Amino acid sequence: MNIVVQKFGGTSVASLERMQQVMKKVLAARAHGNKLVVVLSAMSGETNKLIALANQFSEEPDPAELDVLVTTGEQISVALFAMLLKDAGVKARSLLGYQVPIETDSDFCRARIVNIDTDRIRAMLEEYDVLVMAGFQGCDCHGRITTLGRGGSDTSGVAIAAALKADTCEIYTDVDGVYTTDPNICSQARKLSRVTYDEMLEMASMGAKVLQIRSVEFAKKYNVPVHVRSTFSDEPGTMVIQEDKSMEAVLVSGIAYDKDQARVTVYDVIDQPGVAAAIFGPLAEDGILVDMIIQNTSREGRTDMTFTIPRADLKKTMRILEGTKVQIGAKDIQYDTGVCKVSVIGVGMRNHSGVAAKAFAALSKENVNILMISTSEIKITCLIEEKYMALAVHTLHEAFELGKNGTNAC
Amino acid sequence: MNIVVQKFGGTSVASLERMQQVMKKVLAARAHGNKLVVVLSAMSGETNKLIALANQFSEEPDPAELDVLVTTGEQISVALFAMLLKDAGVKARSLLGYQVPIETDSDFCRARIVNIDTDRIRAMLEEYDVLVMAGFQGCDCHGRITTLGRGGSDTSGVAIAAALKADTCEIYTDVDGVYTTDPNICSQARKLSRVTYDEMLEMASMGAKVLQIRSVEFAKKYNVPVHVRSTFSDEPGTMVIQEDKSMEAVLVSGIAYDKDQARVTVYDVIDQPGVAAAIFGPLAEDGILVDMIIQNTSREGRTDMTFTIPRADLKKTMRILEGTKVQIGAKDIQYDTGVCKVSVIGVGMRNHSGVAAKAFAALSKENVNILMISTSEIKITCLIEEKYMALAVHTLHEAFELGKNGTNAC
């Protein structure tokens, strides 16, 4: 049997009308003789509503019980959608995490999948034509409900596709693919026909909300081609795939940005082994994601340490730093929220020099001052003043000719 | 270990404030050294909201998927309550139907319990002090979610108490016990300290909403004493128990009524074997609960057939009867919705004559015309015009001196 895995996000199942749209996609794939596993998210807004309810009951809700609570969102989606399918004469049933089972570890609220019983799914697909599976949820070895973390339904879709060795995992969403940059910022943005897992990971880490990071990691690990496309059109979207030779020709795939940033500088700390650990250890313990880190060259045995964090964590970060201030001998701690990150992303960089220089030159020509720089194999990130964000995105998009049809064009 | 089973209804868990009230009851029982199984309903209104959602998606929702949908209501309650308990330092966890497991048959939406794994519950009670169990739900032998029918959380509570051989099942609700009649109709109504399973069954079948019928049947079958009491007071409520000698002294325990009635008469049907089956068979097939049935004496080989049904089923009933009209040779079919049932209930009737005569005399004195009569071992029911309902309840309540303190007084 040929098995197709389709995953639909929260906006795609937000109402009866939206679900009927989803049904068209499912019935079309079914009409081609495929068996389907359809993975659904909670109706948009539901998960947030449930979390708000939990916060009303507890300042720090028990993670295991929070998972019991929030998984009701997907449970509602799959029940309703299975009803629609049955009314349409399709042999279908809903499947909850523990019924598959999607076995995970016991790390509630951010569990990792350890096993999926494909024999059971294949047996069910003999009996049913469509299995409507609740995304985001699994169960641990004791049968307790777990969740895979925010956006985990993407991961559910990719994981089930990997386990069933499906040709593709189709991720249907409210955008029609992955773009060279945010079309809301830059009207020259162009839909990519293909993008590599690594590029997608860099884009996702920069806040591009098309795919959840862990699902891309999963897809990369198991080499599952992911087709990101729109629920509301029949156009092909973007294939997220392993790098192949033809893609090397493309220098840069996209420009990403992240406004949710704050810059923190700790002044005049003692420059000795262990001082970085003393600063960043407590932040890591509290789950604060420190990104770009710059340590100035030492003057008279002292140095400044600058780094970026998500803006939402600023208050917590400052509180923690005030606690370690004496220990690290810092003279002052300052922060700046008027900053943002802009990144140039492309696997082609691996084999080409001069990409960074070209980016810096383009920004400089528009008088955009670069505050910090960090680079990876396939990404160059600049921290700039927030007011230059749109200008920087436009400038870089044009500098690398992303608006023009290249080999990566649709 | 001494195990206490407490069940709380929808109004008792309707909000954070209400749940805090529930927690007081739980902590009090815990303070006495008991281990607890706390069975919760969905927050009041939730189940209806979910059913309305289902009806928006399907005219006749698939029963299995409807169960997947509606069980989210209890799932939300138990997760939130377990959070509260954990925050209060109690070793507690939530338990869903499939996690107990409460094994049922596969008759979705009205499943019957076939087995409860008490070894597993006892093992969990070694680890936890309070298990917060979702009422209303179970799972069949294939692991699919089932529900026990409306009000099924009472049944869950009684079933778990029976399985664990608990001394009592405490059913906490928004009323403080079982009354001699509806206090909203008759201010002389008095709370009963005790009532028998059979009397409770008759009262429940007459629409007294204190306990769900099946839970009382279950309690009777396994001889589980049920203590019906208020979440919002510390007063003792009403014990629902097996009949004992002292109770025989009480002639009548209560007066019940049911306004949700319609009377249907099929005129001039052929009086021959099989005609009753031809009329009532199709109604039973469609799940219509026919109650009082009267067949007039035959005149010239023909007879009239009169019976009562729930008012909500009238339209369906008339449609079915129109279909069988020719077959049974009926000349006419008429109905009347301006009727109601009033019942006198008491196990003492078994050993006393004259109860019926006394009831008829009392009603006659107030000029209340009796349209139909049906009797059981412990109940006398009269169908009367709806406008006399309150008058009849008052009259009967007074005739049997239910307002006075008897052996059954609180």
pTM for the model: 0.85
The pLDDT, as a whole number, for residue B274 is 85
For residue range A115-162, list pLDDT tens digits in order.
999 999 999 999 999 999 999 999 999 999 999 987 799 999 999 999
Query: What is the predicted pLDDT for the residue at B8?
Result: 97
Query: Cα separation of B104 and B97, whole Å?
Result: 10
Instruction: Using alpha carbons, list the distances in angstroms from residue B330 to B267, B275, B280.
Output: 6, 10, 14
Give pLDDT, residue B208: 64
Residue type, position B348, single letter: G
Name the 3-class secondary structure at B105: coil
DSSP reduced 3-state for B353: coil
CB contacts of A99 in chain B (<8 Å) are 143-144
Note the Cα A370 to chain centre separation in Å.
26
Quickly list H helices, B223-296: 245-248, 275-285
Q: Minimal Cα–Cα distance from B38 to chain A, Å?
A: 15
C-alpha span between A154 and A117 (Å, rounded)? 19
Closest CA of chain B from A179, distance in Å: 35
Q: Which of A50, A64, A79 sits opposite B65 (nearest CB)?
A: A79
3-state secondary structure B45-72: CHHHHHHHHHHHHCCCCCHHHHHHHHCH
Which secondary-structure segment (H or E) carries A278? Answer: helix A275-285
Sheet with B238-241, side-by-side order of all strands: B92-95, B130-134, B35-40, B3-8, B169-173, B226-230, B238-241, B194-196
In whole angstroms, what is the distance from residue B219 CA to residue B222 CA?
5
Task: Specify whether the CB–CB gap between A169 and A241 falls below 8 A.
Answer: no
Please report residues of B whose CB lies closer than 8 A to that of A127: none
Q: Which residue has the tokens 């250890």?
A: A281
Contact between residue B406 and residue B250 where contact means Cβ atoms under 8 Å apart: yes
Least confident of A94-98, A249-253, A258-262, A286-290: A249-253
The residue to which tokens 């339904």 are assigned: A153
The reply to whether residue A65 touches residue B58, judged by beta carbons under 8 angstroms, is no
Inform me whether the pLDDT recorded for A83 exceeds 50.
yes
pLDDT at site A231: 93
DSSP A195-249: EEHHHHHHHHHTT-TTS-HHHHHHHHHHT--EEEEETT--S--EEEE---HHHHT
Instruction: Give the per-residue pLDDT at B410.
Output: 33
Q: Strands across the sheet with B137-139, in order?
A: B113-116, B102-104, B137-139, B145-147
pLDDT at residue A174 in the model:
87
Mean pLDDT of chain A: 92
By the 8 A CB rule, do A388 and A396 touch? Answer: no
Q: How confident is the model at residue B207 (pLDDT cuts 50, 70, 90)?
A: low
Which residue shows structure tokens 């879709």? A157
Tokens of A195: 């993008």
Alpha helices in A71-205 (DSSP H): 72-87, 118-127, 152-163, 197-205
Is residue A154 within 8 Å of residue A362, measured between CB atoms? no
CB pairs under 8 A between A and B: 103
Which of B50, B54, B65 comes nearest A94 by C-beta? B65
Reduced to 3 states, what is the DSSP secondary structure of residue B409? coil
Which of A57, A127, A132 to probe by mutation at the B interface, max B CB count within 10 Å? A57
The answer on pLDDT for A395 being more than 60 is yes
pLDDT at A248 (0 to 100): 61
Give pLDDT, residue A115. Answer: 95
**Chain A positions in Cβ-Cβ contact with residue B53 (cut-off 8 Å):** 76, 80
Give chain B positions within 8 Å (CB) of A72.
Answer: 72, 75-76
Instruction: Select from 3.40.980.10, 1.10.1740.10, 3.30.2130.10, 3.40.710.10 the CATH code of B255-399.
Output: 3.30.2130.10
- What average pLDDT does the segment B235-249 reach? 84
- Is the pLDDT at B318 greater than 80, yes or no? yes
Is position B9 annotated in a ligand binding site? yes
Which residue, among A228, A248, A229, has the nearest Cα to A406 in the 3D structure?
A248
State mean pLDDT over A222-230: 96
Smallest Cα–Cα separation from B148: which of B203, B218, B207? B218
Supply the pLDDT for residue B401: 92
Which architecture, in CATH terms, is B3-174?
Answer: 3-Layer(aba) Sandwich (3.40)
For B392, counting Cβ atoms within 10 Å of its Cβ (0-12 exposed, 13-18 middle, 19+ buried), the class is: buried
**Do the beta carbons of residue B270 and residue B226 sit within 8 Å?**
no
Paired with B396 in beta bridges are none
Q: Indicate the DSSP class of residue A142.
A: T
Tens-place pLDDT, residues A309-346: 999 999 999 999 999 998 888 999 999 999 999 999 99
Residue in chain B closest to A93 (alpha carbons) equals B65
Nearest Cα to B64, choosing from A93, A4, A308, A15? A93
Q: Decide if pLDDT at A409 tops 80.
A: no
Domain-by-domain residue ranges, chain B? 3-174, 255-399
CB contact under 8 A, A65 and B98: no
SS3 A256: strand
What does the pLDDT look like over B43-66, one tens digit per residue?
A: 999 999 999 999 999 999 999 999
Report chain A's C-alpha Rg in angstroms. Answer: 23
Across A367-381, B70-84, B165-179, the highest mean pLDDT is recorded for: B70-84
pLDDT at B407: 41
Mean pLDDT of B332-353: 91
Helix axes B46-57, A16-31, angle to 10 degrees: 50
